[in-house]
Chain A
Amino acid sequence: MQALVVAAHGSHLNPDASDPTYAHADTVRETGAFDEVREAFWKEEPHFREVIRTLESDEVFVVPLFISEGYFTEQVIPRELRLEDWDPEKWDSEGTDASQVTLEAGDADKTVHYCGPVGTHDAMTDVIVQRAESVTNDSDVGEGVGLAVVGHGTERNENSAKAIEYHADRIRERDRFDEVNALFMDEEPEVDDVTDFFESSDVVVVPLFVADGYHTQEDIPEDMGLTEDYRLGWDVPTEVDGHRIWYAGAVGTEGLMADVLLERAADAGAELGNAVERVRAMTAGSDDAATDEPEPKAGN
């Protein structure tokens, strides 16, 4: 038997934080590829600490629903899961290359395949593009359009910027959008000045965050000048300095994220049958998995 554990942050204060986690886990459940699928959290229940023991499967694939390698993926999750002999070196990563490592869990007789975070997987590039399609409602979006991939900067975690740049580079190489830029919240180039970095009149802005929350629903929209006050909401698109800004909200709410969970598990040796194809068909061009974007939500 094999199990998938989706390891996410969760929140004590914001009930919506875990919505994407549940939505993507449910998508994977629908495929039947795993005998068991569990959500696990740092701030909600089941906690990372107690999730492994709830499983009957002896083969467990843990995929962190995090954007980048860093404190949570390298320290918190492995420690709380009691992954014996864990050492970040085992991922042998320069910041965006972690794939998986196989370990034993200290509290249960199980083999745990500890995977790299969803945010740095190549399949994430497709999710960003699909997010752009969803928000513009145009499956061919690209020509005459600029794309901004937005993240935290290095202030909290240097790998966070690496992940943003990695995907921005990959999308640029595809030559689909006229311009592609990586922008940040706490360093140059800053998302506040988004219109300075683009010549295209239409700019799609996709924040590389796993869930909508304070940053994606309050900070970024106000900083970009989409609205004076996030509580008033904003239009998609909104006219700013002669550009039309299509603000997508957190990429993590896109249904196709479930595909990245599967890809991570497959890279670690999970038997998936045709689950990947099924998930792609289920989530094609839809973001119904988590939110009803592009309607902006007033704060959460």
Chain B
Amino acid sequence: MADPTTDLESLLAAADEGVALDGLLVERTDDGTYVLETPESREAGLEGEEIERALESIPSLVSNWRYWDAIGGEGTARRAFLRWCERAPPTEDRTLEDEPLEVPERYDALEDGIVREWGQLRITGELVDGGEGERRYELRHVDDADRAREELERQENPRDARELSTYDGDGRYRPLKTAPTLRSGWVFPELSGRELVDAVEFFYPATIANWHRERRGELDVDHWLETAERQTGIYDVIDELPREAVDWMAEACCVDSQCLRRREWEYEEGDELEPEGGDGPFPCREPCSLVVAAARKWAILESEAERTYELEFTTSELNQLAELIDAVADGRTDEIREADVNDGANRYRARYLRAKRFDGDGGLEATKRE
């Protein structure tokens, strides 16, 4: 924990090079006196004791400087992310999604906790009591926003985020880290800035780096065609996926209900895909490995010719097929109640349809029309 006297000393030492952060400006001039500028005032020609007294009268600006000096990493994604967490004015970003807070308001807000959401993560930044500007971050699931900390499973080590993000609430493996299926019920009560960044990176790898590049206007997007053409081996075929199939694929995999990354890649430069890219804070800069692997399946399936089949259904049975597809596509099958026979995707309804319409080979009885 910081000692206010050493804070002053290190600030004055840094003033040789010039200190400028969040409204605080301290400079040592050639004659050995100091210039001190704050949002309220500007004083020049301050001697040793005067500058110390002046700085003691603005403790938040000084401790704020100390905290960010310790964080370091000027120009890094880590620093930019931690500043975003407390709505500090960005130093380099082009876009601002909300009003930044200057130090006095920010300190007031940090007293109560400044809350940010990153995918399904909820980050609360706070000042440590008596900690001379030191911050602590609490990390939990957005769904647990209103739960008492004691009710949640306590986690300490950022690496535990790996374990938490491996399985969903039903114990199924999550191959896509940014799928909106992160399980809830845990809390990292007291992370340092560095630990917070590590934990977020374990939950959502590379999201901070790409978000930062985007804010600087440097996001290097690789569109579908570039990514597909780069592939070799068993994925060599994916660039044969028809143009409209890429729309369907993005609709299947990349919309917010399936993935929290905001898709920024399109079919190719100047040829946008139909589905929405999403609203999340962090961008997706190229089709991920899951989409590439699925694309291989679709490329192979789409190479088949379409045919016309004749098969018999009542109108309700045809509608039921649509209900079944919807239920699977929306991941709703678990929710359909055992005896809810009004739902076409109810298990008994599906079994009945199978008993009635399947032939001896276990498929739909259909005749191919020549």
A residues neighboring B (CB under 8 Å): 11-15, 22, 26, 41-47, 49-51, 53-54, 56, 71, 75-76, 79, 107
CB distance B206 to A50 under 8 Å? yes
B residues neighboring A (CB under 8 Å): 73, 76-78, 159, 162, 166-167, 173, 175-177, 201, 205-206, 208-210, 213, 220, 230, 232-233, 285-286, 288-290, 293
Known contacts A12-B290, A12-B293, A15-B167, A54 near B230 by CB under 8 Å? no
A75 and B231 alpha carbons, distance in the complex (Å): 10
User: A48's closest neighbor in chain B, by CB?
Assistant: B289
A76 and B292 alpha carbons, distance in the complex (Å): 14
Task: Pick the contact of A79: B162, B175, B230 (CB < 8 A).
Answer: B230
Q: Which residues of the partner chain A approach B286 to less than 8 Å between Cβ atoms?
A: 49
Q: Which residues of the partner chain B approach A11 to less than 8 Å between Cβ atoms?
A: 175
CB distance A53 to B209 under 8 Å? yes
A14 and B285 alpha carbons, distance in the complex (Å): 25
CB distance A45 to B206 under 8 Å? yes
A22 and B76 alpha carbons, distance in the complex (Å): 25
A42 and B288 alpha carbons, distance in the complex (Å): 10
Closest chain-B Cβ to A91's Cβ sits at a distance in Å of 19
Task: Pick the contact of A56: B78, B173, B220, B230 (CB < 8 A).
Answer: B78
Q: Which residues of the partner chain A approach B162 to less than 8 Å between Cβ atoms?
A: 22
CB distance A47 to B201 under 8 Å? no
Q: Which residues of the partner chain B approach A44 to less than 8 Å between Cβ atoms?
A: 175, 177, 289
User: B230's closest neighbor in chain A, by CB?
Assistant: A79
Task: Pick the contact of B205: A14, A26, A50 (CB < 8 A).
Answer: A50
A75 and B205 alpha carbons, distance in the complex (Å): 23
Task: Pick the contact of B201: A22, A26, A54 (CB < 8 A).
Answer: A54
User: B76's closest neighbor in chain A, by CB?
Assistant: A56
A75 and B209 alpha carbons, distance in the complex (Å): 25
Task: Pick the contact of B175: A12, A26, A46, A75 (CB < 8 A).
Answer: A12
CB distance B159 to A47 under 8 Å? no
A83 and B159 alpha carbons, distance in the complex (Å): 28
Which of B73, B167, B205, B286: most chain A Cβ within 10 A? B205
Known contacts A43-B289, A47-B289, A107-B220, A26 near B206 by CB under 8 Å? no
A79 and B235 alpha carbons, distance in the complex (Å): 14
CB distance A71 to B233 under 8 Å? yes
CB distance B173 to A13 under 8 Å? yes
CB distance B289 to A12 under 8 Å? yes
Q: Which residues of the partner chain A approach B166 to less than 8 Å between Cβ atoms?
A: 15
Q: Which residues of the partner chain B approach A54 to less than 8 Å between Cβ atoms?
A: 77, 201, 205-206, 208-209
* 8 A–B contacts from the bound complex (CB under 8 Å): A13-B173, A45-B205, A50-B210, A50-B285, A53-B210, A54-B201, A76-B232, A79-B232
Closest chain-B Cβ to A297's Cβ sits at a distance in Å of 16
Q: Which residues of the partner chain A approach B205 to less than 8 Å between Cβ atoms?
A: 45-47, 50, 54
CB distance A50 to B209 under 8 Å? yes
Q: Which residues of the partner chain A approach B290 to less than 8 Å between Cβ atoms?
A: 12
User: A15's closest neighbor in chain B, by CB?
Assistant: B173
A47 and B162 alpha carbons, distance in the complex (Å): 15
Task: Pick the contact of B159: A26, A46, A50, A53 (CB < 8 A).
Answer: A26
Q: Which residues of the partner chain B approach A71 to less than 8 Å between Cβ atoms?
A: 233
A45 and B161 alpha carbons, distance in the complex (Å): 13
Q: Which residues of the partner chain A approach B173 to less than 8 Å between Cβ atoms?
A: 13-15
A49 and B213 alpha carbons, distance in the complex (Å): 15
CB distance A75 to B232 under 8 Å? yes
Q: Which residues of the partner chain B approach A49 to less than 8 Å between Cβ atoms?
A: 286
Q: Which residues of the partner chain B approach A43 to less than 8 Å between Cβ atoms?
A: 175, 289, 293
A45-B206, A50-B210 given; name 15 further pairs at CB < 8 Å.
A11-B175, A13-B173, A15-B166, A41-B289, A42-B289, A43-B175, A44-B177, A46-B205, A46-B206, A47-B206, A54-B208, A56-B76, A75-B233, A76-B233, A79-B230
Closest chain-A Cβ to B244's Cβ sits at a distance in Å of 25
Closest chain-A Cβ to B222's Cβ sits at a distance in Å of 8
User: B290's closest neighbor in chain A, by CB?
Assistant: A12
User: B286's closest neighbor in chain A, by CB?
Assistant: A49
A75 and B167 alpha carbons, distance in the complex (Å): 31
Which of A14, A45, A76: most chain B Cβ within 10 A? A45
Q: When A and B form their complex, which 9 residue pairs have the shortest distance between CB atoms, in order from nearest? A: A46-B205, A50-B206, A45-B205, A12-B175, A15-B173, A53-B209, A46-B206, A45-B177, A54-B209
A12 and B230 alpha carbons, distance in the complex (Å): 20
Closest chain-B Cβ to A82's Cβ sits at a distance in Å of 10
Q: Which residues of the partner chain B approach A51 to less than 8 Å between Cβ atoms?
A: 206
